[in-house]
């Protein structure tokens, strides 16, 4: 893939704005989006990596921006309902037309994710700052390339089953937590022409996106989710071919 | 399964009401829903089979009715947009909670189907009244039990690929048409606790639902989609268990 | 399903014969197969449940026996290579023709399992007698019916990823272990007309098959894996239909 | 992928040797393998493409050759049973360790394919030289890139369902035939670390491998099946990690 990948990291940005949790600015001085973008720039030096947040006009997700985005990353938590429905529909249309989408952590409840999957996307959770171990169960998948198994995250919120999602195309990672819970923490979906990767580590209370192995997973995800160069970005539509083949 | 299955056949009923196509009343004197219900009663004599249409109050899909429905069948075509959004949301909630759903033919564009699947569900079509052959490719699946391969439908509208759906849990039937097209005509999905079966034969222009083998598929589908007796009908919801296991 | 299910519990029986581990006869006085059979008889009172072991003539797996078996359960560990190749081929032929197969714990290395799956079926292991938690991730699957999540096994050998199996049809259970490892402990496959369920708890060092919830899983598995009544037991074979349909 | 892909096209070569069908040398003067190799060289100019046949010492599939092969293509038909079991086991070991494998047409009955899949891989067939239409049903899959839908093959043997294979990872192509039959003609599997792609067009009676779109599919398949550069070629093996993570 010789072209520059055009990547957009979206974050609601409300935790950082409101200093909630207090001190978040110490480990995320440039916001969650800033840390994610920095990791991608380190590992994908040829990519163009931008950021956008809820407070930007149209949340920074205009038609023009989306049309030149190969892969969108989405982090949201406490402001899902502040995302404009028209913007959500626009993002979803672009995913169905071939824009890659990485949904992160509490983004499991983002409108665009639940609308693309059709289920509640609910899960069990407990925030005790315990160790998370991320085990690779499909090592041939591109998002697992070069990722240690287990990937060790010293402190993280527990996300546990039952994770109410449709069966994924590929189950790549399963996490365990110190409390004994398990979670399908790395799963892929195809919707329309769009490739979707959900990866659960990344709570705002812990500096997870500075973790080099987590950055590796996200960079792998971006490369995997990008449509091949030259693919027409078009939502599938009903057609009457008006001819036959026999 | 010793209890009586409670089945509801829903049809928008607009083609019949408007005599469109002219003469539809000759082969569907009791409506498309009436023919489907008759087939189910023949093959599932212990089931309680009811019907409802768009013109019924709340489209006949009240909370009370849905709460005592094990499996809902859905036929719609030209009035998808007349289905009330609140009713659609109610039906979808019941599916996610465990009510079985059979979506038929042009129901691929029903709000509840596209919302549960997340994709456009668009497809190619051509209505020449040609022969459709329905081939079984997963003979161990319960919906294929006792169904000949191919199931021959003398005249039917062509539905062809690309069918824009997520990868199904199981691909049970593939159809070919006289024009050479193919279609994944029998596919299953799980969404939340609900089992969903889409089966494509059944255009309003042809008396497909009187076909004994088609009736067999629908009866199989109903038995398969019903949740086991005693299962709590509840939509999965986010939880904090508030305890650990180690 | 009104007929009596005919179930055969196969165990190599070598651990019991050799009192290895010493004292196995105290918690498995009737052998591992005896405990499994007792659990099935308790939960499936209408089933005919028999047992067979390696030392029986033809390992108790004659053509006649297999032809009247609906579901075979397989436990083996240290004597996989003593299973006669002709017997293995016979069992495999019956599975492909529609006999259900439940493979238990160290049976992951049984000839018949690796031959049906095609991979090494290797895994990571550590026998420290730690707690295993078995979490349900597909609650709508029949093998999960009535099973608590997590199912708690106080002491058990650790089986961990990477489990080298093909992607299963359904991933029903994921286990975690006190050491932090995870394992896809309940997975289903279809091969030919045969339904296969692998369930990992059950090391010879611990009285796992007396656990009521484990017995529930096995009874569910037996019901799920049995082919519908009246199905012809036949291995798919190449055919030239000698005619066309158009 | 900057390195040169090393590709080996294997063909039993018996049809060509025996001039069966008479005149095969006219459309395949360099053998089926020669035509396939020429297509790959045209579309993958940076790849090293070699060939081997049954009559070569060890069928041309020595340990040394396989160790430096990224992707192996396999065409066989009337000489499957002449493939040495030790060679088949060696090829299979390399696939499980990460060598890509493309299995073509009548190779569905090749020992290495049936051993990797575990099923009979039988199918229905009829050789009338009728038109085959290959429809894309997963356009986002790399093997479908740039392939028209339908891909039209003027004359080809019919291969039809039931194709006795395990559920594939991805169903990319479905074919229809003039007689009305359908076939899952492009399917992928993962076994161990190996990616496998089966593509059915290619009977010895017709010059299918000169078809530019067929060549496109094979070139796509080769790129897709190759493991990422730098991946250790190792068959998964059972391990006792001898430590815990908590």
Residue range D22-47, pLDDT digits in tens: 999 999 999 999 999 999 999 999 99
Angle between helices B31-43 and B212-225 (to 10 degrees): 80
- The arrangement of secondary structure in A6-118+185-225, i.e. its CATH architecture, is 3-Layer(aba) Sandwich (3.40)
Integer angstrom CA distances of residue D214 from A246, C167, D41, D126: 20, 28, 14, 21
- CB-closest option in D166, D235, D238 to C189: D166
Cα angle D110-D237-C107, degrees, rounded to a multiple of 5: 80
At A40 the three-state DSSP class reads: helix
Residue among D98, D145, D228 whose CB faces A228 most closely? D145
How many Å apart are CA A164 and CA A81, to the nearest integer?
20
φ/ψ of B240, rounded to 5, equals -115, 105
Q: Cβ atoms within 10 A of the Cβ of B148, count?
A: 12
- Name beta bridge partners: A102: A73, A197
Contact check, Cβ <8 Å, C167/D169: yes
Q: What is the pLDDT of residues A144-192, one digit of tens each?
A: 999 999 999 999 999 999 999 999 999 999 999 999 999 999 999 999 9
- Scanning the structure block, which residue is given the tokens 């668009």? B122
Q: What is the nearest CA distance from D210 to chain B, expressed in angstroms?
A: 23
Q: Which residues of C touch A175 (CB under 8 A)?
A: 182
Query: What chains are in contact with C, requiring at least 3 Cβ pairs below 8 Å?
Result: A, B, D
Each domain of chain C, given as residue ranges in start order, spans 6-117+185-225
- The CATH code of the domain at B6-119+184-225 is 3.40.50.880
User: Would you place residue B228 in the very low, low, confident or very high pLDDT band (cuts 50, 70, 90)?
Assistant: confident
Say yes or no for a CB contact (<8 Å) between D140 and A227.
Answer: yes
pLDDT at C2: 53
Query: Chains A, C: CB contacts under 8 A, how many?
Result: 65
CATH of domain C6-117+185-225: 3.40.50.880
Strands lying side by side in the sheet with C48-53: C48-53, C6-11, C71-75, C100-104, C194-199, C182-191, C170-177, C124-136, C151-160
**Cβ C228 vs Cβ B220: under 8 Å:** no
pTM: 0.97
Contact B155, B130 (CB under 8 A): yes
Using CA coordinates, name the residue in chain C closest to A175: C182
**Could you read off the pLDDT of D45-99 as tens digits, one per residue?**
999 999 999 999 999 999 999 999 999 999 999 999 999 999 999 999 999 999 9
On whether the CB atoms of residues D124 and D181 are closer than 8 A, the answer is yes
Q: What pLDDT sits at residue B238? A: 83
Residues in a beta bridge with B100: B71
| pLDDT surpasses 70 at A1 | no
| Distance separating alpha carbons of residues D209 and D153, to the nearest angstrom | 10
Percentage with pLDDT > 90 across chain D = 91
Cβ-nearest to C150 among B98, B139, B245: B245
The torsion angles phi and psi of D200, rounded to 5 degrees, stand at: -85, -30
- C-alpha span between A239 and D138 (Å, rounded): 17
| pLDDT for the residue numbered A228 | 85
CA distances (Å), origin A130, targets A172, A180, A199, B244? 22, 11, 18, 11
**What pLDDT score does B67 carry?**
96
**Residue B83 DSSP one-character state:** S
What six digits make up the tokens of B34? Answer: 């009436």
At residue B1 the predicted structure's pLDDT band, cuts being 50, 70 and 90, is very low
Q: Residue D105 contacts by C-beta under 8 Å, 6 or more apart in sequence?
A: D75, D77, D159, D199, D200, D201, D202, D203
CA distance A66 to chain B (A): 19
CA distance B169 to A138: 19
- Annotate D31-41 with b (16+ C-beta within 10 A) or e (fewer): bbbbbbbbbbb
pLDDT digits (tens, 9 = 90+) for C167-191: 999 999 999 999 999 999 999 999 9
Strands D194-199 and D182-191: antiparallel
What's the complex ipTM? 0.96
* 3-class state of residue D66 by DSSP: helix
Tell me which chain D residue has its CA closest to the CA of residue A245: D133
Nearest residue in D to A190, CA atom: D140
Residues ≥6 apart with Cβ < 8 Å to C88: C111, C112, C115
Nearest-by-Cβ selection for A137 from C138, C162, C176: C162
Contact A93, A116 (CB under 8 A): no
In this structure, are residues C172 and C188 in contact, taking their beta carbons and an 8 Å threshold? yes
List strands edge to edge, sheet with D48-53. D48-53, D6-11, D71-75, D100-104, D194-199, D182-191, D170-177, D124-136, D151-160
Q: Write down the pLDDT at residue B84.
A: 98
């Amino acid at each position: 893939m010789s072209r520059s990948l055009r990547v957009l990291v979206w974050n609601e940005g409300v935790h950082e704005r409101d200093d909630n949790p207090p001190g978040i600015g110490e480990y995320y001085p440039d916001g969650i989006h800033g840390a994610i973008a920095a990791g991608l720039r380190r590992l994908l030096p040829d990519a163009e990596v931008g950021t956008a947040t809820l407070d930007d006009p149209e949340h920074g997700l205009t038609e023009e921006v989306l049309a030149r985005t190969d892969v969108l990353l989405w982090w949201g938590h406490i402001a899902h309902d502040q995302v404009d429905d028209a913007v959500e529909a626009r993002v979803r249309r672009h995913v169905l037309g071939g824009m890659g989408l990485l949904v992160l952590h509490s983004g499991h409840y983002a409108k665009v994710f639940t609308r693309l999957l059709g289920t509640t996307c609910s899960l069990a959770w407990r925030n005790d700052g315990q160790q998370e171990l991320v085990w690779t169960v499909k090592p041939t998948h591109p998002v697992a390339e070069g990722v240690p198994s287990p990937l060790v995250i010293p402190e993280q919120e527990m996300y546990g089953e039952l994770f109410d999602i449709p069966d994924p195309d590929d189950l790549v990672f399963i996490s365990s937590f110190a409390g004994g819970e398990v979670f399908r923490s790395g799963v892929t979906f195809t919707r329309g022409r769009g490739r979707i990767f959900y990866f659960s580590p990344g709570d705002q209370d812990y500096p997870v996106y500075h973790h080099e192995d987590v950055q590796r997973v996200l960079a792998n995800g971006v490369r995997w989710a990008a449509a091949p160069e030259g693919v027409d970005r078009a939502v599938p539509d009903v057609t009457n071919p008006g001819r036959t083949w026999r």
